[in-house]
Amino acid sequence: MTLVICGLPMRDFEANRADIEGGYHEALNRAPAFADRIAAATSTGRLVGTAVENHFRVPYGPGWALVGDAGYLKDFITAQGIQDAFQDAELCARALDDAFAGRRAFDDAMRGYQQARDERVMQMHEFTADFAALEPPPPEMQRVLGKVAESQDTMDGFVRVNAGVTKPGAFFSDPRLMEAAQPVS
């Protein structure tokens, strides 16, 4: 069996909600050879469509704490969920240890956890939200992505951003890419 996933721009979600299968096939038809293969295949399950509401929650309260998607959810297009969950769990465990050991009050420790989480994920959250919109990038980003495609080094750097290894701000501040982002005169 093969799982086939396609995405539609968020702006089109409501319009496609009543006919998920039609929207799915319309998206696939943009790649006719692939659409033909899908049309010849036998479906073994139902088609599911969803929209992901990117959001942050306060990740703690009296007697409870949240990590990963429970406390901070972003579109799955950059596949950061499990990494976020592990990193949040580590930050949360440290905060709880501080609270239980009496080094900090629970609310102070957990507020610190929330602040550290938000600072750690904000750049990727914004990058993911922009990417997940499935809208054509603005002209300066198109120039930057064109520059990325010119060398294996910059392509690898872009992959590291998508893998959550490099923060978007660190990658996109590379002087070679900043130069490409400048308007052409």
Query: Mean pLDDT score of the chain, rounded to an integer?
Result: 89
pLDDT attached to residue 23: 85
Q: Between these two residues, 158 and 51, which has the higher pLDDT value? A: 158
Predicted local confidence at residue 24, as pLDDT = 86
At 66-98, the pLDDT tens digits run 999 999 988 888 888 899 999 999 999 999 999
Arithmetic mean of pLDDT, 110-133: 94
Find which of 118-122, 132-136, 146-150 is predicted with most confidence, using mean pLDDT: 118-122
pLDDT score of 107 more than 70: yes
Specify the range with the lowest mean pLDDT, choosing from 5-14, 100-109, 121-130, 143-152.
Answer: 5-14
DSSP, residue by residue, 116-144 = HHHHHHHHHHHHHHHHHTTPPPPHHHHHH
Residue 154 has pLDDT above 80, yes or no: yes
Contact partners, residue 89, CB within 8 Å, separation at least 6: 67, 68
pLDDT of residue 2: 87
Q: How far apart are CA 63 and CA 156, in angstroms?
A: 43
pLDDT at 185: 62
pLDDT at 84 (0 to 100)? 92
Q: How far is CA 51 from CA 10, 76, 145, in A?
A: 7, 10, 26
